[in-house]
Structure 1
Amino acid sequence: MLLLIAGVASWWLVLARESRRVAQEESDRQTALLLREIDAHNATDAQLQRAKEAAEAANLAKSRFLTGMSHELRAPLNGILGYAQVLQRDPAMPLGRREAVEVILRSGRHLLGLIDGLLDISRIEAGKLRLERTECVFPAFLDQIVRLMRPQAEDKGLRFECVVQSRLPDIVHVDEKRLRQVLINLLSNAVKYTDSGRVRLRVRYARELMQFDVEDTGPGIPAEDLERIFLPFERSWAGERQADTGTGLGLTVCRMLTHVMGGELQVQSTVGEGSHFGLKLFLPEVRMLSGDPHVPGVVLGYRGAPRRLLVVDDQVAHRRLLRDMLEPLGFHVDEALDGEACLAAVAAQVPDLVLLDVTMPGLDGWAVRAALYARQPQLPVIMVSATVATLDAAAVAGTTRFVAKPVMLPELLLRIGQCLNVEWITEPAGELAPLQDTPATLDIVLERDDADALLELGAMGYVKGVLVKLDEIQARLPRAAPLTAHLRTLAAGFRLKEYQQVLKRHVRHAQAPE
């Protein structure tokens, strides 16, 4: 028994020693594998870090390129849009040329929106895009969209229709700029890719949910391309056949902006029949404006003593543009070509307001602004720049007095009014006198079929059809000229609500018993 016990004990000791040896070898092997894996992870991490640095450098280069390109495009646009506004206000401008100037203004504003869109892509990708929700007068907003798109559609021989399918709110809370950007892009694509037929914009509103439907009779989009068209630089087969294909970023920006605004953008299409883009957004209704952010009407001047302004800009054309904008309104405008000249001019005679460019040789605008505030703390200064990045600098500096180039006169006057507290002398912008319900006017009787046709065309928003019908009625009933002329003015101005009211009032009077 002792020998048996001694043998078992010896065998147990041998097994324990062998187990420790095997465990040590396995531990050494696993440690070596782990060290090799750590080295591989370190190498991978180093590669990822180098790739991240390269991507950040490329992104920074892209941002610098976009910022620089934006500045270079905004500078010439400042002259184009600025002098277009000056010509628009010239009372000696012939009517035909005035319409041409308005086209220049609309096209320039659209180009400015495209420039801003390039910067938006970078901001959205970086998560730095901020919505600026304000109170928007929705009927006027929709009117602007229709006025911009209808001529483009009619130039291609297309029928452009705006159909309102429900009551629309008078005022909504929305980022007006972003919503306009999305709608114009969708409608522009519909017009671009449709060769015949129509482009229709349907609008309906229910429970603070706004639905926009853009329909066309174009070539359509294959099912396999319905998601691909929202990718950057991607187009469907219909887009590849177009000579003017654009950059391939429009729908990408539209979907990104829609998601940022908390909405939904969908597309349905049938090849050979057309496409349907549906935009759904939550737009809360506002009962009344808390304050009008714009100068009402057309500014003719201001009341009170003459005010002296100092314009500081190293570009002669930009200084003269601001002078041509402001001197007809009664301001005395002095000029300075750089920061040193500005400080010298202020030391000689303190102006009421300084319009200060940001990018100048020598002292830049921020340094000049600091020097002015040190000498004249109460002197108001408005910063003017074509560099959009300056907006962020203005926010950091704690100033809201900033005007971006191209300078738009209403915004400039708004800032001047805030700084100088001036009382503007204005003229109502394009307001038409209402139709007077005189017996002579109301005695004009239209046939019931004509009245019904006019009401139906107005309800559809088909302004071109309304004008054609009015010409036909006036040719048959020359004595109806006062009524048809007023209806034509309202329809051409897309004041369809007033158009319907005037026509219904006339129909009720014509049907009233003797």
Structure 2
Amino acid sequence: MKTQNKIVVFMFTMLALLGVPIILMGYIIINKIIYELNEKLIEKELFIIQQDIISAYNTLKKNGLTNNAEATTQAQIEILKRYQYFKLNETGYFYIINSSGKVVLHPNFEQGSIFNTNYAKQLIQEKRGVIHSRIQDKIYYSVFQDFPAWDWIIVISIAETELFKDRAFYLNFVIIMSFLIFAGVLLLSYLSTRGTTQNIQAILQYLKAIECGDLTNSPPKVTHDEIGMILQGIISMVTRLTSINKQLIDEIQHRYTIETALLEAKESAEKARHAAEAANRAKSTFLANMSHELRTPLNGILGYTQILQRDKNLTSHQIDGIHIIHSSGEYLLTLINDILDLSKIEANQLDLFPLDFNLHEFLQELVHLFQIRAKEKGISFLYEPVTHLPVGVHGDAIRLRQILINLLSNATKFTERGGVTFKVGYYEDKIRFQIEDTGVGIHPHDIENIFIPFQQLGEVTRKTAGTGLGLSITKRLVERMGGQIHLESTIGQGSIFWFAIVLPEATDFKKDHTEIQETIVAYEGNPRTILIIDDKEKNRAILRNLLIPLGFKLTEANNGQEGLAQALQTPPNLILTDLIMPLMDGFEFTHHLRSFTNLENVPIIATSSSVFAQHRQESLKAGCDAFITKPIQQDELLAIIQQLLNIQWVYACHTTKAAGDMPTESEHEILIPCLPTVQLDILYDLAMMGDITGINKQLELIDNRDPHAMSFIEKIRNLAANFQVEEICHLLAPYLNQKS
């Protein structure tokens, strides 16, 4: 019932919406028709009068009397008499004026009177046409036409109210007829659609039941018309929906079971991830703490070996023992650094420090180093620059050297026959480094495992010393530098490792020249006082033994609180402070010290076994001028002291001969015995590479073969112990030139 009411309302709405525009359109059309009919009627009357005037004029013209004023006047009088009382309906009338505005004929004005209105001026100006004008509060419709032969303008005017007096009748007729037509159409539509409406209402109720989820509700009776066809389609759709709904319910239940299991698995995985992250953080913290604890004794070991290596009273056997201790300590430090590097890489905290460096010298040093190693092992080592390479490039030379040494060392280590080939060249706008060997090769199932930390290459009998971190660190360093390491290997034939990284050419590259330095024995100028703050006595002892022989005055403190009191009592020229100490640490000490006006400019060097980057940043932020990691390297420490105190060192050579003096030929002959050229070549190459261990091994070989070379061996060993490889090259170069 509601649906039928809606249909009725809809029909009346349509009647209103469609009837109003149609009635309005009928009104416009009726107005137009009436207007045009009356306009044609007036124009017709005006045309008849005009033809009558033209006929009278033509009669005069035919008789040749057009120029006869009397005949013309008589003809005009006859025309005026005929139309003197002409009227069109109730308000329409006819009149004539000339181009001067004088009345020729008018029912309300005397002949000869003047029309001086805008309406008359418009008639005179336009000469023919239609004009609407207001006369005595009525709007008149005027049709006019000029007759130039007699200088007449003939006009018929009629009020618009009379012109459209039949408009209301016709409009009412249109409205009534339109209403009746629409009412009839709507009635017929309603009667014809009532049955259809009932069927639609039944279908809608059926669909509403389906919408509420009741798919078991009985459908309406299917009729044999279009509505029945629609209903049949709906019934088929409902049947299909019922089947699909059952399938969906089954699938939802199945998915719910799976999602519940997945959610539980996800929660377990999330717990495992948190546990792994906590374990990883604990591992990183443990490694950092262990590094701190291991570096502390290493600081004592390496510190004293550096001090003892400067002692000229030691025998060669004692020097060899100290060198072994120093080398072992450095090796242990290398292992610690490898583990920390891996930890930093895993934590994504390993930063690169790209600088401009000489690529040719960089590669040549590596080639010399591994040519010696390969020669000692009895295999070949070939270097092949595949393409032209730039002299200077921009990158992290330290990390690149670490990568290549790891790969070349493995290639040399696992190659017993044949040799190693090192190829470098451009590859797709990158520089490609490729290491080929003819070694034992790698089994296919080991290829995935060799990059795992703490895994070693080769069989158990072939495994050598090492942590098994080299290839893992190498792979991750290559990825950190934007490359990817590739491996091809065949058992018994050898392996090929290669990677390609971006190394932009350094256009403004300038080669660095390292100044050759000798042993530091003192410094120029007034004595300087250095305050050492460290809670460990052995660390202070190392610095005492290193700095006092050079002429520095030292004061010491166990913690920052004591150090602050010492500094206030005796202001030092320089302060060396540990960062982690009881009572007052190095950070707090620096803050307090900088608050005193007389101490705010005293240089402070922070020393720490910590490897955390934030400790370096925090120390510099607190006010320290430099940061040194333990174990302290004496060359690094002395270079920073020289910079901060602006002093000049006094070297050992300056105490024996004038500055700038070069060794004479006789001095070289005394220093260098008659040794085979190949032995001196090896020493020179090892010194060029900075391989202190290799130099000492070569000196042992010379000592065993030539007992008369004792002074030469002692001289080179002392220089190597102090890492003065440039001086070794300087001493050997003239002799090599003589031999060549």
Whether these two folds match at TM > 0.5 is yes
Instruction: Give the letter aligned to residue 344 of structure 1.
Output: A
- Residues 68-79 of structure 1: matches in 2 within 5 Å? 68-79=289-300
1:354 Cα deviation (Å)? 1.0
- Residues 48-447 of structure 1: matches in 2 within 5 Å? 48-136=269-357, 158-159=377-378, 163-165=382-384, 173-190=394-411, 192-194=413-415, 196-197=416-417, 200=420, 202=422, 204=424, 209=431, 211=433, 213=435, 215=437, 217-236=438-457, 238-242=458-462, 244=464, 246-278=466-498, 280-283=500-503, 284=505, 287-289=509-511, 296-375=517-596, 376-389=599-612, 391-396=613-618, 397-398=620-621, 399=624, 401-426=626-651
Structure 1: how far apart are the matches of 2:310 and 2:358? 24
1:139 to 1:362, Cα distance in 2 relative to 1, 3 A = farther
1:48 Cα deviation (Å)? 4.9
1:503 to 1:100, Cα distance in 2 relative to 1, 3 A = same
Instruction: Give the letter aligned to residue 186 of structure 1.
Output: L
Structure 1: how far apart are the matches of 2:284 and 2:497? 31
Structure 1: how far apart are the matches of 2:664 and 2:208? 112
1:140 Cα deviation (Å)? 7.2
Instruction: Give the letter aligned to residue 60 of structure 1.
Output: R
1:95 Cα deviation (Å)? 4.1
> Which secondary structure state, in structure 2, belongs to the residue aligned with residue 416 of structure 1?
helix
| Unpaired segments ≥5 residues, structure 2 | 1-191, 216-237, 655-659, 670-675, 689-693
> Which secondary structure state, in structure 2, belongs to the residue aligned with residue 356 of structure 1?
strand
Instruction: Give the letter aligned to residue 329 of structure 1.
Output: L
1:107 Cα deviation (Å)? 3.8
Structure 2: how far apart are the matches of 1:152 and 1:76? 32
Q: Deviations over 1:219-253 (max 9, x none)?
A: 221234334312334445x2444464644332111
* TM-score, structure 1 normalization: 0.73
Structure 2: how far apart are the matches of 1:172 and 1:94? 45
* Range with bigger deviation, 172-181 or 396-405: 172-181
Rg (Cα) greater in structure:
2
- Residues 470-485 of structure 1: matches in 2 within 5 Å? none
Structure 1: how far apart are the matches of 2:518 and 2:381? 27
* TM-score, structure 2 normalization: 0.53
1:407 to 1:295, Cα distance in 2 relative to 1, 3 A = farther
Structure 1: how far apart are the matches of 2:353 and 2:373? 29
Instruction: Give the letter aligned to residue 383 of structure 1.
Output: A
Structure 2: how far apart are the matches of 1:265 and 1:208? 13
Structure 1: how far apart are the matches of 2:283 and 2:735? 55
- Residues 5-44 of structure 1: matches in 2 within 5 Å? 5=196, 8-9=199-200, 11-20=202-211, 21-22=214-215
Instruction: Give the letter aligned to residue 210 of structure 2.
Output: S
Instruction: Give the letter aligned to residue 287 of structure 1.
Output: F
1:135 to 1:304, Cα distance in 2 relative to 1, 3 A = farther
1:86 Cα deviation (Å)? 0.8
1:158 Cα deviation (Å)? 1.7
Structure 1: how far apart are the matches of 2:547 and 2:372? 32
Identity percentage over the alignment?
32
1:97 Cα deviation (Å)? 4.0
Instruction: Give the letter aligned to residue 468 of structure 2.
Output: G
Decide whether the 8 Å contact of 1:201 with 1:213 is kept in 2: yes
Structure 2: how far apart are the matches of 1:500 and 1:203? 29
1:388 Cα deviation (Å)? 0.7
1:500 to 1:81, Cα distance in 2 relative to 1, 3 A = closer
- Answer 1 or 2: higher relative contact order, Cα 8 Å, separation at least 6: 1
> Which secondary structure state, in structure 1, belongs to the residue aligned with residue 595 of structure 2?
helix
1:163 to 1:243, Cα distance in 2 relative to 1, 3 A = closer
Measured on the aligned residues, the alpha-carbon RMSD in Å equals 5.4
Decide whether the 8 Å contact of 2:454 with 2:467 is kept in 1: yes
1:214 to 1:100, Cα distance in 2 relative to 1, 3 A = farther
> Which secondary structure state, in structure 1, belongs to the residue aligned with residue 450 of structure 2?
helix
| Unpaired segments ≥5 residues, structure 1 | 441-449, 476-480, 508-514
Decide whether the 8 Å contact of 2:483 with 2:499 is kept in 1: yes
1:418 to 1:214, Cα distance in 2 relative to 1, 3 A = farther
Decide whether the 8 Å contact of 1:186 with 1:277 is kept in 2: yes
* Range with bigger deviation, 329-338 or 92-101: 92-101
1:336 to 1:496, Cα distance in 2 relative to 1, 3 A = closer
Structure 1: how far apart are the matches of 2:617 and 2:289? 20
* Range with bigger deviation, 258-267 or 404-413: 258-267
Q: How many correspondences in the alignment?
A: 477
Structure 2: how far apart are the matches of 1:146 and 1:428? 32
1:305 Cα deviation (Å)? 0.9
> Which secondary structure state, in structure 2, belongs to the residue aligned with residue 363 of structure 1?
coil
Decide whether the 8 Å contact of 1:339 with 1:362 is kept in 2: yes
Q: Deviations over 1:385-441 (max 9, x none)?
A: 11111x322214435510100000111112212321222234689x996997xxx9x
